[in-house]
Amino acid sequence: MEVRTCKECKKMFNYLAGPPICPSCKDKLEEKFQEVKEYIRENTHDGITEVAQATHVSANQIRRWIREERLSFSEESGIGIDCESCGKMIKSGRLCQSCKDKLLGTVDNMLKGSESIVEKKHREAARMRFIDK
Ligand SMILES: [Zn+2]
Ligand SMILES: [Zn+2]
């Protein structure tokens, strides 16, 4: 067992996993999360800064929740965070759709060294047809 100092209250606690926050601070943060979620639902036009001020949660923490896809602003609010790759505004997560696609394309290209999944499926389908005859 590992003992760490809580990032929030500086108390020592038995560290298990995740962010270095003690169980009681984690509970408090979870309560805050529900509060923020509720607030955003009722105040759809507030920006991150306004939400942070109203709920007494740091803007960074709110952004973190958005990155973790736990929190997102409504479509019509026009509020979001920047794509980590191209800076385009996104609603939640780390990357916009086109960067996600690009990333997937890169992974696909890496796999192509042997055989792409699509090609493999085609080959298998062809073989099935052959067996059918
Ligand atoms: Zn703590
Ligand atoms: Zn992007």
Ligand number nearest CA of 15 is 1
For 90-114, write each residue's pLDDT tens digit: 999 999 999 999 998 887 777 776 5
Find the 88 Cα to ligand 2 centroid distance in Å: 5
Cα separation of 35 and 42, whole Å?
A: 11
- pLDDT attached to residue 113: 64
Find the 43 Cα to ligand 1 centroid distance in Å: 29
Q: 93 burial class (0-12, 13-18, 19+ CB within 10 angstroms)?
A: middle
Question: Is the whole-model pTM more than 0.85?
Answer: no
User: Domain residue spans in the chain?
Assistant: 2-94, 96-133
- pLDDT attached to residue 83: 96
For 37-88, write each residue's pLDDT tens digit: 999 999 988 999 999 999 999 999 999 999 999 999 888 888 899 999 999 9
- pLDDT attached to residue 79: 87
